[in-house]
Structure 1
């Protein structure tokens, strides 16, 4: 297997979150399907990492000070249950600076919008995903805003993402002023509630959204 793009992405990333050789549980392998070997190969090369000024996080196979484990992140206990059955067939393995997820679904790689609960196709294989991220990292990871936010506020707390105070889907601006560093799980839970509210609602319907940093 030739992983040219994965190797390039790894070469510009942080140190590995864990030096423990990765393993995938049977449940995670089932979700990853034909991409399970590719995901495991990625983690064998580097078991979790940040890239693009921490705007991209690839989850490690085990919990660390800088990452939830893949098993924990994909469990029902953290945030997935907030989205109901719309996420039951996806394995989430990485995220952008806003908490937008990259996942394996139906043997392909998708982006998952936490505000709407919608999936959009990105790539066929894990190496193709890495190639897309490398070529469109500003769009796919949110690196420009991550850079600007950190110039003003310092490093993003390691288990947090930059969540919009007014959701983007509700007209919130892609600006530093509209972003708050929030624990990743809290951010996903809050937006899961939002996604379920707006699901199948007509345009102009009233919704409630509340996000805090405590």
Structure 2
């Protein structure tokens, strides 16, 4: 993987590790998670700290994805996320994509190994790096633990290339996305909606 800006420290959550599929276990034994592609892909690790890097926190913790998103199963493993906080889940050995604004799930029809291969060969498409590239062209960077906040949200914006981008702490971005999903999940198409910008 290219553009690695963070590598997880020593494995501390071995109880969680042994519950994971073999390919993911092998990767984490070697790296314990990384932030690669200059923030374009974050693969979580088996650790308690830092909390933003903890696989257990987002899988089994108070803010676990399955507690927010109706489309996420308790058995889905949220092993990674992209630069804006969309999630990659392992579901019965297959990688699925979770749009964290809408809660929509899309099977990617690859396993963990081939997901990594696809990201390596076609990072812009596989990881939807356009927002990060635009942020970099503006002179911006992401530091470990940050995600790009996109406003207005992609699901309601007519022209996403004009959206405002800003780096924010990952948990703050995920909380905003969870709140947005809860507001819109039962709304009919065309319904008016007021969304407050992310507050500092």
Q: Could you say which TM-score interval applies, normalised by the shorter chain?
A: 0.7 to 0.9
After TM superposition, the structure 1 stretch with the greater mean CA deviation from structure 2, 149-158 or 43-52, is: 149-158
Q: Which has the higher contact order (CA 8 A, sep 6+)?
A: 1
- Aligned counterpart, 1:189: 175
Deviation readout 1:20-54 (Å, 9 max, x if unpaired): 1465535982xx5xxx1111111122111122222
Mapped contact 1:110–1:122 kept (Cα < 8 A):
yes
Taking structure 1 as the reference length, the TM-score comes to 0.79
Deviation readout 1:100-155 (Å, 9 max, x if unpaired): 11111233110110000111001331111112222331123233431331343432
Are 1:170 and 2:160 matched, yes or no? no
Give unpaired runs (5+ residues) of structure 1. Answer: 1-8
Deviation at 1:169, TM superposition (A): 0.4
Superposition CA RMSD, Å? 2.7
Counterpart-to-counterpart distance in 1, 2:84 and 2:25: 25
Mapped contact 1:96–1:141 kept (Cα < 8 A):
yes
1:1-214 to 2 correspondences below 5 Å: 9=1, 12-14=2-4, 17-21=7-11, 23-25=13-15, 29=19, 32=20, 36-64=21-49, 67-78=52-63, 80=65, 83-89=68-74, 90-171=76-157, 173-175=159-161, 177-214=163-200
Mapped contact 2:98–2:105 kept (Cα < 8 A):
yes
Mapped contact 2:6–2:36 kept (Cα < 8 A):
no
Give unpaired runs (5+ residues) of structure 2. Answer: none
Taking structure 2 as the reference length, the TM-score comes to 0.83
SS at match of 2:195: coil
